[in-house]
Structure 1
Amino acid sequence: MSWHDIVVTRHKTRPTASDLLSNATPIAPNDVPRDIHHLGDFRATPRLVLIAALAVPIGAVSAVVAWALLRLIGLITNAIFYQRVDTKLVAPGGGHDHWYIVLLAPIIGGLVIGLMARYGSEKIRGHGMPEAIEAILLGGSKIQPRVAVLKPISSAIAIGTGGPFGAEGPIIMTGGAVGSLFAQFLRLTADERKTLLVAGASAGMAATFNTPFAAIMLAVELLLFEWRPRSFVPVATAVCVATVVRHPLLGSGVLFPVHGALHITPLAELLCVLSGVIAGLLAIVATILVYAAEDGFRRLPVHWMWWPAIGGVIIGIGGMIVPQALGVGYNIIGSELDGSITTQLVIGILIVKTLIWSLSLGSGTSGGVLAPMFMIGGALGALETQIFPHVGPGFWALVALAGVLGGVMRSPFTGVVFALELTGRFDAILPLIIGASTAFAVSALLLKRSVLTEKIARRGYHLTREYDVDPLEIYFVGEVMSRDILSYESDLSAVDALAEISGVDPDKTDSRRQMLYPVVTGVDTLVGVVTRTQLETAVHKNQGDRPVAELCITAPLVTHADQTLRETANAMAANEVDKMPVVDRDDSTRLVGLVSLTMLLEGRVRDVREANESERVLRLRVARPGWLSRHERTQD
């Protein structure tokens, strides 16, 4: 049987009940024709080349913006903590500052940020990535120009005055703003704006850390919400351009070079699971602290403009206890990874950095997540080094770093690739996969949302990050369409056509519920479609003698039996219809069936069934003593 073998009931006289019985049966998958040359595993149009070309200048500008922001952070840090004019990125609170500078600098910085947020743009609050995600999913990928200016300045002030944050979140937001603004000056779709926004964000991140692969992975795991050539190619283009532009500006070497051989044993790989569990639990604690702090600040009887200054008090106190916890902390991360950090400092970083980062970030100040997670994860691993067997310099710090990153951001691939590109330790890839995947599993099992998506959920929006093959994409119309349908000859009058479906027992036939009726001539030649409402309206207006050919829609929206359910569903949504005639692909006038929105759900039904129905496919038969001899006697 093929999709052309259908039963179409056409009437000039009243049909019998048996004529109208609908016994439509979906075609078995084995009967699906294999001529699907019109389909491909990816959809790519020439627009891809255009968007990729637009991503080139976005990548270059984003790299320059990243360089400028890092220099601005260095300028503010040097001016406040070292009383000199220099743009070199240095650590604040080096231990030689007056106590009042360490205490007051974050407070003043928080006050400035609060004023900028209230009178400039509230969107500069936070660590950047949730705001970028919200712009992508809810804002049509449109970022205001003022955000592109105020976000990097506010972040430079927050970090330069001692804030324990990273520059990558603000750079991601700023790079995204560059791509979004560029796209808003052109006539592009929302999806194309999204692609250029993510291209700018990923380019900024790649330029900051010299990690192009990790930047692309972050785009795929966190920002794009799709895996398609139309978005991947432009993002990869922007990232590559940004990395090339970065090299003369910031250097081409790895950010945290680690030397020395690794001696990875099966025991060490097994302990990576335990390290991942601990990292996942630490990620959960850090996430809970951030939003517990945010809830606490909301209860304060003061305007949110003052919250960053109050968060600055927490930072200042923490800086007085452990000055190395202030700022981006690249020097501390390097010490953790090369094994030169002291145990006392490790404990101080692990406790103080976690507390001041999470509590101050909950105040709504401006700063990133990645660098603090590098430091906190590295401190955890450095502490594990005191317990776990020696494998190599900074090995456990590296594993824990990837684990914490995978647990906090729920992006295990990004965590692994980041750790590899930051250190050049490609010989540690298996332990990193074990640690990051375990931490991701722990975080996903015990916490519903990550630190990046909880803020979006608190605004009343749900975000899922699970990628799955759409079941409507793998099934065809011919597998679910109705082949036994009621149609009308073109010269049948409206009153007679209405009589065919009036007074029929709906429990015995689907023709009454069909609602859309093809109008045909000859041998299944489609003329148009007519609805039950059109027939009733014609009879009500005393036009029942008019033939259905005069009432029907002569150019109906149609689909084909070898079209996917997804494409058909998209066509229904775009044209606001819930039923479509199915015609032969080679002969668009030949009717082969009818498909409705309800039938399209068959693909979803099969997907739900496969996800929830358990079955044992194979059974192991165990031979019992004496069975063989009895079997042989039976054969004899």
Structure 2
Amino acid sequence: MHSTTISIFLHAIRIRFKLFKKKALARGSEIGLIACAALVGVASGCVVSGMSWISKALHHLIFGISDGEWLSAASIDNQLLVFAAPIAGGVMMGIVFLLLRKRRNRPIVDPIEANALYGGRISLTDSIIVAVQNLVSNGFGASVGLEAGYTQLSSGIASKLGGKLNFRREDLRILVGCGAAGAIAAAFNAPLTGAFYAFELIIGTYSTVALAPVVVAAIFATFVARAMSGDTFLIEVGEIGAVAPHDFLPAILLGALCAMIGIAIMKGVTFTEQLARKSSIPPALRPALGGIVVGLLAMITPQVLSAGHGALHLNLDTQNSLIALAMIFLLKATASAVSIGSGFRGGLFFASLFMGALLGKIFAFPVDSIMSGSLTPTVYAVVGMSSLAVALIGGPLTMTFLALEITGDFPITALVLAATISSSVVVRTTFGYSFATWRFHLRGESIRSAHDIGWIRNLTVDKLMRPDVKKANANLSLQQFRETFPLGSTQRAILVDDDDRYVGIVLVAEVYGAEVTVQEATLEKFIRYRNEFLQPRMNAKQAAAIFDKTRSDALAVVNNLIERRVVGLLSEAHTLRRYSEELDRRRREAVGEAI
């Protein structure tokens, strides 16, 4: 009897466990999403540690530096090697370009674009290609960081996992954000920074549904990276005492200054790319030519090489003159713009931190002479570092938490927050883009952030229109039209010519309500919207704008501008209703309400 009771009890436990497992892994389950986020965090930590190790190994192998030495802070006696390495990297990037051009013609989608337009879908193969290109670029000394490769590969793994588990659109977008959060958290040993990087830059919004998985991914990635590499990114600012109210003014001014310089850097990258495109230089040769420029700059100072980790610490720990700091900044900005503009693969995340720190120390010179008892140059370096990163990358809270986590100093956080808000406001009001979204704009994409606008593209006119339209020949007499369309049979008729080309729309009520003479017994005076119509591939937002412009209740849909063959009719009321329904649906998905 006792054994039977135990068996029944164990059987009940197994049934409950199976039900719990089924519910946890069900599509749309928050528990299942958190579990997947933990796996993505582990994968992100491995990605960051692995890529970091490969990069350092390449630096050691190519430049001959010691294992514990950073490339940008190393003393390299062989100047020919410093000059030739970026060129060799450019040649390799050119070869990769030629190989990819034959096999993969589509553009590579990054996490921001994937979440904004494609519901979080990223090709893992493309992500691996980006990571390899980033390693080649960084490993041979091009002035780019590895953060682009970290986030791309980690997000690609997350997207692949979510796709295999058939995640719904909103959950897949969150999981991609988890991959990016894990990558940044592991790279800087800063889980809060990683989490808010995902919220501000990848997911595009903060929600309670996304909070748990994103934070879990960031924490797991940080633990894995610590266990595998043990590297930490910390800045010692020393004792700064209490932050006085008058200290906020120079911090806000520094933020605005970094915003303007950040815009100049973004335009410099664009100018380099446009110059390369307008020239007759084949795309496969451009990275090698960019490598020549980077190599020449590196012969002046190796601080322009790679991301700049060592150079950042070197300049924070030493007291350089104003001229020396300005020269390093100009050389690094030029090297970064040329590297990216010529075709090397990488990002400006760490480069923006390094250049921002230089700007902060430069800014400290005039402030120290004007304001007695001002903050130390290192504090201004941290403020400038965060401010320029906001201008180029975006995410004021992300960079504020980064300053907090890498310094461990709370008083600085308030200064950094004020400066990053200042930088963000100046960039938004005068320029409107971060580095990533600016490049999307140049490609013709309407992306200002990672907010999901891809569903709008799927809500197209051909999915909303009515194909059963009332058509009539434009040459009908008024009497013939009235016989064909009795009053009350339809609200409007679409007129076409003898070749079935769109002519315009006639409102049936107007035809019956007008008093006309025999000489006016044609439809000519009743034809509306002769050149106002919709096309099938327009989205609901574009259609709504055309309705508003033409002040029409309904418009014809024609197949294209050449044939002008009528394929349907769409009303403004139906368009706005469906658009509002989808907006409400996305809002409820974002906050986790049942749909």
TM-score (norm 2): 0.68
User: What are the within-5 Å matches in structure 2 for residues 177-576 of structure 1?
Assistant: 177-251=156-230, 253-338=232-317, 340-389=319-368, 390-392=374-376, 394-465=378-449, 503=487
Q: Which residue of 2 aligns with 1:99?
A: 79
Which residue of 56, 70, 88 maps to 1:74? 56
Q: State the one-letter code of the partner of 2:247.
A: A
Q: How far apart are 1:368 and its partner, in Å?
A: 2.0
Report how many residues are paired: 443
**What residue ranges of structure 2 are gaps of 5+ in the alignment?**
1-25, 369-373, 453-484, 493-552, 554-571, 582-595
Change (3 A) 1:146 1:503: closer
Deviation string 1:483-514 (CA, Å, 9 cap, x unpaired) is xxxxxxxxxxxxxxxxxx9857xxxxxx9879
Q: Which residue of 2 aligns with 1:134?
A: 113
Query: Secondary structure at 2:76's aligned position in 1?
Result: coil
CA contact (8 A) 1:403 1:435 kept: yes
Change (3 A) 1:295 1:123: farther
User: Aligned partners of 1:160 and 1:89: how far apart in 2?
Assistant: 14
Report percent identity of matched pairs. 23
CA contact (8 A) 1:281 1:442 kept: yes
User: Aligned partners of 1:46 and 1:174: how far apart in 2?
Assistant: 24
User: What are the within-5 Å matches in structure 2 for residues 568-587 of structure 1?
Assistant: none
User: Aligned partners of 1:120 and 1:422: how far apart in 2?
Assistant: 39
Query: Secondary structure at 1:290's aligned position in 2?
Result: helix
Which residue of 130, 143, 148 maps to 2:127? 148
CA contact (8 A) 2:181 2:196 kept: no
User: Aligned partners of 1:152 and 1:598: how far apart in 2?
Assistant: 42
Q: State the one-letter code of the partner of 1:408.
A: L
CA contact (8 A) 1:117 1:124 kept: no
Query: Secondary structure at 1:204's aligned position in 2?
Result: helix
Query: Secondary structure at 1:143's aligned position in 2?
Result: coil
User: Aligned partners of 1:301 and 1:405: how far apart in 2?
Assistant: 34
Q: Which residue of 2 aligns with 1:56?
A: 38
Q: How far apart are 1:401 and its partner, in Å?
A: 1.0
CA contact (8 A) 2:182 2:217 kept: yes
The farther-off stretch of 327-336 and 215-224 is 327-336
Deviation string 1:45-76 (CA, Å, 9 cap, x unpaired) is 96121111111111101101100111111001
The farther-off stretch of 424-433 and 394-403 is 424-433
User: Aligned partners of 1:304 and 1:466: how far apart in 2?
Assistant: 29
Q: State the one-letter code of the partner of 1:359.
A: V
Which residue of 110, 117, 140 maps to 2:97? 117
User: Aligned partners of 2:390 and 2:291: how far apart in 1?
Assistant: 28
Deviation string 1:281-333 (CA, Å, 9 cap, x unpaired) is 11111111011111111112133222211111111111112222212221222
Q: Which residue of 1 aligns with 2:590?
A: none
Q: How far apart are 1:89 and its partner, in Å?
A: 5.6
The yes-or-no answer on 1:108 pairing with 2:88 is yes
Q: How far apart are 1:174 and its partner, in Å?
A: 1.2
Q: State the one-letter code of the partner of 1:399.
A: V
Deviation string 1:11-35 (CA, Å, 9 cap, x unpaired) is xxxxxxxxxxxxxxxxxxxxxxxxx
Q: State the one-letter code of the partner of 1:395.
A: V
Q: How far apart are 1:92 and its partner, in Å?
A: 4.5
Query: Secondary structure at 2:365's aligned position in 1?
Result: coil
Change (3 A) 1:152 1:601: closer
Q: Alpha carbon RMSD of aligned pairs, Å?
A: 3.4
User: Aligned partners of 1:433 and 1:336: how far apart in 2?
Assistant: 23
User: Aligned partners of 1:124 and 1:309: how far apart in 2?
Assistant: 22
CA contact (8 A) 1:378 1:397 kept: yes
**What residue ranges of structure 1 are gaps of 5+ in the alignment?**
1-43, 469-500, 505-510, 515-577, 579-594, 605-636
Change (3 A) 1:64 1:122: farther
Change (3 A) 1:123 1:432: farther
User: Aligned partners of 1:121 and 1:61: how far apart in 2?
Assistant: 29
Q: State the one-letter code of the partner of 1:265.
A: A
Q: State the one-letter code of the partner of 1:280.
A: A
User: Aligned partners of 1:433 and 1:123: how far apart in 2?
Assistant: 46
CA contact (8 A) 2:72 2:310 kept: no
Query: Secondary structure at 1:331's aligned position in 2?
Result: helix
Query: Secondary structure at 1:385's aligned position in 2?
Result: helix
Q: Which residue of 2 aligns with 1:493?
A: none
User: Aligned partners of 1:178 and 1:121: how far apart in 2?
Assistant: 24
The farther-off stretch of 256-265 and 595-604 is 595-604
Q: State the one-letter code of the partner of 1:205.
A: I
Query: Secondary structure at 2:110's aligned position in 1?
Result: helix
Q: State the one-letter code of the partner of 2:91.
A: L
Change (3 A) 1:89 1:172: farther
User: Aligned partners of 1:83 and 1:277: how far apart in 2?
Assistant: 38
Q: State the one-letter code of the partner of 1:68.
A: G
CA contact (8 A) 2:73 2:310 kept: no
Q: How far apart are 1:213 and its partner, in Å?
A: 0.9
Deviation string 1:511-568 (CA, Å, 9 cap, x unpaired) is 9879xxxxxxxxxxxxxxxxxxxxxxxxxxxxxxxxxxxxxxxxxxxxxxxxxxxxxx
Q: Which residue of 1 aligns with 2:70?
A: 90
Q: How far apart are 1:107 and its partner, in Å?
A: 0.8
Q: State the one-letter code of the partner of 1:243.
A: T
User: Aligned partners of 2:349 and 2:309: how far apart in 1?
Assistant: 11
Q: State the one-letter code of the partner of 1:403.
A: S
CA contact (8 A) 1:385 1:396 kept: yes
CA contact (8 A) 2:287 2:342 kept: yes
CA contact (8 A) 1:117 1:123 kept: no
Query: Secondary structure at 1:187's aligned position in 2?
Result: coil
User: Aligned partners of 1:280 and 1:453: how far apart in 2?
Assistant: 16
Query: Secondary structure at 2:436's aligned position in 1?
Result: coil
Query: Secondary structure at 1:108's aligned position in 2?
Result: helix
Q: State the one-letter code of the partner of 1:235.
A: V
Q: State the one-letter code of the partner of 2:93.
A: I
User: Aligned partners of 2:41 and 2:579: how far apart in 1?
Assistant: 44
User: Aligned partners of 1:317 and 1:187: how far apart in 2?
Assistant: 50
